[in-house]
Amino acid sequence: PGNQTRFVVVARDGVPAATGHDRTAMVVFQRANEPGSLISILQEFAARRINLSNLLSRPTKAGGLGDYCFVIYAEAHLADELLADTLRALHAKQGAVKFLGSYPAAGDQAHDARQHADSRWRAADDWVAALRAQIAR
């Protein structure tokens, strides 16, 4: 129960319109094989509260031992400004980012989870705003 078979259209041009509960796939190549290279990639998503639904590491064809790329599936659409900002930051810091596409997510579980997380962040923002309102002027 609950299993679904999905079919996708693969094309060189065009991205489907955002639906409000989408996924985006990309490949990010690490700039250097050094401690912290993966966390520097993941922090770009965390700083913008973008949830990742899948993360895979793969050795690169051209690189030597220890050179990896990361296949990342984010719960967002290219049209979302936060994801666009994340892609800009990754491109600037990592250099090589391959956008594979944005597409509607199956089901509403991801959308519901994101709404719940967003409501917790809004509550946290309200709490910090109340604290900051106490600062003497």
Tell me: pLDDT of 20 over 60: yes
Please state the domain extents for the chain: 22-107
User: Mean pLDDT in the chain?
Assistant: 86
Question: Side by side, which strands form the sheet with 96-104?
Answer: 52-59, 68-74, 22-29, 96-104
How high is the pLDDT of residue 24? 96
Is the predicted pLDDT of residue 77 greater than 90, yes or no?
Answer: yes
Find the range with the poorest average confidence among 17-31, 83-97, 107-121.
107-121
Residues 22-107: name the CATH superfamily: ACT domain (3.30.70.260)
* 53 CB-contact burial (10 Å; exposed 0-12 / middle 13-18 / buried 19+): middle
Give pLDDT, residue 46: 96
Average pLDDT over residues 2-18: 75
**Secondary structure (3-state) at 8:** coil
